[in-house]
Amino acid sequence: MEAKPPLYPVAGAAGPEGDKDSLGVPDGLAHAVPQLDELVGAYPNYNEEEEERRYYRRKRLAVVKNVLAASAGGMLTYGVYLGLLQMQLILHYDETYREVKYGNMGLPDIDSKMLMGINVTPIAALLYTPVLIRFFGTKWMMFLAVGIYALFVSTNYWERYYTLVPSAVALGMAIVPLWASMGNYITRMAQKYYEFSHYKEDEQKPQQRPPRGSHAPYLLVFQAIFYSFFHLSFACAQLPMIYFLNSYLYDLNHTLCNVHSCGTNSHGILNGFNKTVLRTLPRSKNLIVVETVLMAVAFLAMLLVLGLCGAAYRPTEEIDLRSVGWGNIFQLPFKHVRDFRLRHLVPFFIYSGFEVLFACTGLALHSWESCTRTRRGRTSSSPSTTGGRLWPSLRYTWAPACP
């Protein structure tokens, strides 16, 4: 019985001698080899230095994008936080609003405890901030802290003691980790920008670390960008007042009609400051719309940090928490004081703290601004002699003229 020929040619089977060239390669493969070389061979116009330059330029642009995204996220976060807090405290100060909306719930007491939770809790953050940053990483710590700010905004949908005070305490716990992670992130971006700008030096000396302080010029520029964005948050915080609450407020002639003296004579809220500052009460529907807009902006800040901010460190560069002792972790904030540059910045930190204190007590509480802007009657200043020069005293009085 004769065997049937195979339907398809068997791979590797020897064909007729005429199918091979002088080197023993089949004719079909002889034509395929040059085509394969053209496909996988080196690109004739390839310039390795130019491609490397383009690669590191894209890396530098990514670093700038990270700095802008982190700066915009911080601006939106603090703009929402300060704007909501300002509007909330003004509404809770009006006694008519408190009686009509919340009865005897005790909003002033809740507000005082809420502010205490925001301002006192960060003192304990020195202990756990390094642990959180080492455990979550710089980027994810920023994301979680911005999320806690969004949580604080969401609690204003239902203003009760068990919603406002715990969220304020959580916000106070997140303030220091947020600023520490943002500062670390901006510093790390400056270091990466230096590495991507001087990549040729790294190739020549791969095992040597860059000189100390070599990234300082880039750090200065990035910090200037960050704080330029951040200070815009104070302007953004006034938008809820401009577009919503100002239309419900009395003018200062009504608010200050019982105030007889201010300036150095006052302490805290002015004596005689009117208990009713709202001309009409805002509807609950309008308040919900404003809080929804603020909540959407807070979520936008979270998405900026999550989507546009790249990782600060490569996975191999992240420090494993198990490799660092717990005692060393808690001592990390105090070990930074060994740097003489940080010790020289201590007076600046003290000055900046007092500057904020003076701004809050002097401007926000109307102990100076309202005295100079609103004068229904005649203002009088008693001059005092100091060192042979005549200085006007910071004491203003006027005759009350209530409408």
pTM for the structure as a whole? 0.73
Are residues 379 and 396 in contact, defined by beta-carbon separation less than 8 angstroms?
yes
Sketch the domain layout of the chain as residue ranges: 50-262+281-326, 339-373
The whole-angstrom separation of Cα 208 and Cα 185 is: 23
Find the helix packing angle between 284-303 and 48-93, rounded to 10°.
Answer: 160
Mean pLDDT lowest among 100-104, 268-272, 390-394: 390-394
Question: What is the pLDDT, as a whole number, of residue 338?
Answer: 76
pLDDT, tens only, 327-341: 666 666 677 677 777
SS3 call for 325: coil
More confident residue, 347 or 34: 347
CATH superfamily, with its number, for domain 50-262+281-326: MFS general substrate transporter like domains (1.20.1250.20)
**Residue 319 pLDDT > 70:** no
SS3 call for 305: helix
Residues in the chain: 403
Are residues 256 and 379 in contact, defined by beta-carbon separation less than 8 angstroms?
no
Question: What is the pLDDT, as a whole number, of residue 62?
Answer: 93
Q: Band of the pLDDT at 298, cuts 50, 70, 90?
A: very high
pLDDT, tens only, 114-172: 888 888 888 888 778 878 887 888 899 999 999 999 999 998 888 888 888 889 899 98
The whole-angstrom separation of Cα 186 and Cα 216 is: 11
Which runs of consecutive H residues, i.e. helices, occur in 205-304? 216-236, 239-243, 252-255, 284-303
pLDDT, tens only, 24-40: 555 555 555 556 556 66
The whole-angstrom separation of Cα 152 and Cα 136 is: 21
The whole-angstrom separation of Cα 29 and Cα 21 is: 10
